[in-house]
Every structure is written in structure tokens, then in C-alpha cells.
């Protein structure tokens, strides 16, 4: 059985999340739950929340037999902002967001 959880509007760029997530694909859920709280990166907090959400969808909480089947990172919407510049001008910049989709399965 597979369960899917999605985290939207994550306030971190998709590029930073993709670099972080590669190590956790195919990993046992119980191992990931031990490692992620000790990681000192913002991406770890977001990924941990989405994994917990996917685990809670199972009726029996048997995290020893569950594994992370896939993790997908997509671009989210941008927050467009303006920053003051020299000589009375303004410069446009964007705050990027991402979407995290985690699929957890009980069979390999």
C-alpha cells in the first residue's frame, strides 16, 4: 500500500531542497525519522514534516516496514519584492518557494 503527502509553499528554493533530498530516497522511514531531527538545515525540518504527514495516513503505525518510495521536488510560486537601489531606483527580486511530494510504501 502506498500513501502520498504533499507540502506546498515551502519557503526554500527547489534547488536547495533537491541537493538535500537525494540522500533520503529509498531509505527506511524509521532511519529517516532518527536522522532528520538532528540535521541543521532548514530543508530537514520541511522534509520531516511531510514524512510525518505521510506516516499518519497509515492505519497501523509500523514504521519498521515502511520505506520512502519517492520524493519529488517542484517549483512553487514566487513572492515578488522590490529593494531600494542607488539614485532613487528599485530592483526587483523574488523569494522562491517549493512543493514537496513524498510517497511512502510498505513493500519494496
What DSSP line would sit under 73-104, residue for residue?
EEE-PPEEEEEE-GGG-EEEEEE--EEEEEEE
pLDDT at 108: 66
Mean pLDDT of the chain: 93
pLDDT above 90 for 64:
no
68, β-bridge pairs: 104
Averaged pLDDT for residues 11-32: 93
Helix (H) or strand (E) holding 48: helix 42-55
- pTM assigned to the model: 0.87
Fold for the domain defined by 2-105: Ribosomal Protein L22; Chain A (3.90.470)
**Burial tier of 12 (Cβ tally within 10 Å: 0-12, 13-18, 19+):** buried
Q: Tell me the average pLDDT across 33-47.
A: 94
**SS3 assignment, position 5:** strand
Amino acid at each position: 500500500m502506498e500513501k502520498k503527502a504533499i507540502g506546498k509553499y515551502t519557503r526554500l528554493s527547489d534547488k536547495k531542497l533537491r541537493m538535500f533530498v537525494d540522500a533520503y530516497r529509498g531509505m527506511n522511514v524509521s532511519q529517516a525519522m532518527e536522522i532528520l531531527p538532528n540535521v541543521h538545515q532548514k530543508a530537514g525540518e520541511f522534509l520531516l514534516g511531510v514524512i510525518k504527514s505521510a506516516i499518519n495516513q497509515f492505519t497501523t503505525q509500523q514504521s519498521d516496514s515502511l520505506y520512502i518510495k519517492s520524493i519529488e521536488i517542484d517549483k512553487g510560486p514566487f513572492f515578488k519584492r522590490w529593494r531600494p537601489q542607488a539614485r532613487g531606483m528599485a530592483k526587483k527580486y523574488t523569494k522562491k518557494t517549493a512543493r514537496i511530494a513524498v510517497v511512502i510504501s510498505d513493500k519494496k
